[in-house]
């Protein structure tokens, strides 16, 4: 059995990610007692039925009391509120982290709320599915996935040790860990996750609005590419609304570049510039092969994919 890194872990917000953290940490044997706070009564009923918590409450302060590790896994725009609710009960020496998909605004909110003596180490597991709620959680979600930590600019030993301990925690859950600046994280994720989601939401919306193609035809012929977009476009509306509102600048920057490139593609199609299209499609195929080679996707197409496989990042 692995070393217990945190005798008590508190998880605030126990949906897909919170539940997966609990199941994975328990399976790895790296935490002792587990306390959970969740605002949703329905979620609390399921958390109790699934046996995810040793102590379950709606009260954030009650859950985090005497915890060595506090993981906030609520939607991005609820992080500040959750951190403020936790703050008075956080014990000195505790590590306060989160799983939010945006890091700049969340890192700021956590730093503002945390009392001195608490180590704030924001984080983001690049792993997920389009499901939400505690029933969607599973212990293998973080296997072979990246977790990005965005530590504060501090170099005192106790803080560095806290960052290392949190990195060891995620590694024990099966993930690899990278560290980067919060603003850089937000730009990288705008390209790799936020823009693809925006495109998926938009393309599915466009297809739904087309009058000359019936809804039945869209369903029937969806294997032509559309189906994979619908899976991404089924992602949680609250979570994604929060992502776009809190990572506005990076998303708009990348969206601007994307729009320019799309215009160029549109010109190439209009003027019959097949070589331009061929050159782009060849380059993009190489990128896909690189992703498969990096172990971040299976080589086979998405057909028949089990939703419990960690195949979507956020
Ligand atoms: P989720 O399944 O919707 O679960 C969030 C839970 O937190 C819900 O039960 C929610 O209750 C509860 N909650 C909301 N505000 C709260 C508060 N102030 N105090 C206590 N509980 C509160 O969400 P998720 O998909 O696990 O995502 C959690 C976080 O991880 C988000 O920040 C997201 O950006 C990030 N993330 C998600 C994914 C993904 O693929 N889903 C991947 C990586 C990171 P209500 O339903 O009543 O609001």
CA of 23 to the centre of ligand 1 (A): 16
Question: Mind listing the pLDDT tens digit for each residue in 224-247?
Answer: 888 999 999 999 999 999 999 999
Ligand 1 mutation pick, 19, 23, 35, 38, max ligand atoms within 8 A of CB: 38
3-state secondary structure of 191: helix
Nearest one of 27, 26, 85, 84 to 61, comparing CA atoms: 85
Residue 301 burial (C-beta neighbours within 10 Å; 0-12, 13-18, 19+): exposed
- Give the domain CATH number at 201: 1.10.3660.10
How many CB atoms within 10 Å of residue 199? 16
43 and 87 inside one domain = yes
121 and 96 inside one domain = yes
What pLDDT is recorded for position 221?
86
Number of H helices, E strands in the chain: 13, 9
Helix (H), strand (E) at residue 189: helix 182-189
Please count the structural domains in the chain: 2
CA of 74 to the centre of ligand 1 (A): 4
CA of 292 to the centre of ligand 1 (A): 29
What pLDDT is recorded for position 314?
60
CA of 79 to the centre of ligand 1 (A): 9
Task: Point out the ligand 1 atom lying closest to the alpha carbon of residue 79.
Answer: 18
Range of the domain at 241: 184-293
Of 180, 195, 229, the position where a domain reaches its end is 180
Report angle CA 163, 3, 63 to the nearest 5 degrees.
Answer: 65
62 and 193 inside one domain = no
Ligand 1-lining residues (CB < 6 angstroms): 12-13, 15-18, 37-40, 43, 60, 73-76, 78, 81-82, 99-101, 125, 128, 132-133, 236, 239, 314
The segments of the chain whose pLDDT lies below 50 read 299-312
How many CB atoms within 10 Å of residue 308? 13
What pLDDT is recorded for position 1?
62
Q: Report if residue 131 sits inside a domain.
A: yes
154 and 34 inside one domain = yes
Of 180, 212, 246, the position where a domain reaches its end is 180
Q: Report if residue 141 sits inside a domain.
A: yes
Task: Give the C-alpha separation, 14 to 268, whole Å.
Answer: 48
Task: Point out the ligand 1 atom lying closest to the alpha carbon of residue 106.
Answer: 32
**Do the beta carbons of residue 87 and residue 114 sit within 8 Å?**
yes
28 and 159 inside one domain = yes
Residue 79 burial (C-beta neighbours within 10 Å; 0-12, 13-18, 19+): buried
**Do the beta carbons of residue 314 and residue 239 sit within 8 Å?**
yes
CA of 171 to the centre of ligand 1 (A): 22
255 and 114 inside one domain = no
Q: Report if residue 136 sits inside a domain.
A: yes
Ligand 1 mutation pick, 10, 20, 40, 129, max ligand atoms within 8 A of CB: 40
**Do the beta carbons of residue 140 and residue 310 sit within 8 Å?**
yes
CA distance from start to end of the chain: 31
CA of 272 to the centre of ligand 1 (A): 47
Task: Point out the ligand 1 atom lying closest to the alpha carbon of residue 18.
Answer: 26
167 and 203 inside one domain = no
- Give the domain CATH number at 105: 3.40.50.720
136 and 28 inside one domain = yes
* Contacts made by residues 48-55, CB under 8 angstroms, sequence distance 24+: 50/19, 50/134, 50/135, 52/14, 52/19, 52/22, 52/23, 52/134, 52/137, 53/11, 53/14, 53/22
Give 4's DSSP letter: -
What pLDDT is recorded for position 108?
98
62 and 175 inside one domain = yes
Q: Report if residue 307 sits inside a domain.
A: no
68 and 85 inside one domain = yes
Which residue reads 């949680």 in tokens?
Answer: 236
Nearest one of 51, 9, 16 to 31, comparing CA atoms: 9
195 and 282 inside one domain = yes
Q: Whose CA is nearest to atom 31 of ligand 1?
A: 75
What pLDDT is recorded for position 300?
40
146 and 192 inside one domain = no
Of 180, 198, 227, the position where a domain reaches its end is 180
Q: Report if residue 300 sits inside a domain.
A: no
CA of 71 to the centre of ligand 1 (A): 11
CA of 311 to the centre of ligand 1 (A): 18
């Amino acid at each position: 059995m692995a070393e217990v890194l945190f005798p008590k872990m508190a998880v605030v917000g126990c949906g897909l990610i919170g539940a997966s953290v609990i199941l994975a940490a328990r399976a790895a044997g790296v935490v002792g007692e587990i306390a959970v706070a969740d605002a949703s009564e329905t979620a609390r009923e399921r958390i109790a039925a699934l046996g995810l918590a040793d102590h379950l409450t709606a009260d954030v302060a009650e859950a985090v009391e005497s915890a060595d590790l506090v993981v906030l896994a609520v939607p991005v725009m609820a992080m500040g509120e959750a951190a403020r609710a936790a703050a008075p009960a956080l014990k000195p020496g505790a590590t306060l982290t989160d799983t939010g998909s945006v890091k700049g605004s969340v890192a700021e909110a956590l730093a503002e709320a945390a009392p001195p003596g608490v180590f704030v180490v924001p984080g983001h597991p690049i792993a997920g599915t389009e499901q939400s709620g505690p029933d969607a959680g599973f212990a293998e979600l973080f296997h072979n996935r990246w977790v990005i930590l965005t530590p504060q600019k501090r170099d005192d030993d106790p803080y560095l040790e806290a960052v290392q301990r949190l990195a060891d925690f995620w590694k024990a859950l099966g993930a690899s860990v990278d560290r980067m600046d919060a603003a850089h994280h937000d730009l990288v994720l705008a390209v790799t996750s936020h823009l693809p989601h925006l495109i998926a939401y938009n393309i599915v919306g466009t297809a739904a609005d087309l009058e000359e193609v019936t809804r039945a035809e869209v369903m029937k012929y969806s294997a032509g590419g559309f189906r994979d977009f619908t899976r991404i476009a089924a992602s949680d509306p609250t979570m994604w609304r929060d992502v776009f509102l809190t990572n506005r600048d990076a998303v708009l920057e990348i969206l601007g570049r994307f729009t320019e490139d799309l215009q160029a593609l549109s010109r190439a199609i209009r003027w019959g510039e097949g070589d331009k299209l061929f050159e782009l499609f060849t380059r993009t195929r190489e990128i896909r092969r690189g992703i498969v080679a990096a172990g971040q996707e299976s080589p086979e197409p998405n057909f028949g994919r089990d939703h419990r496989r960690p195949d979507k990042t956020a």
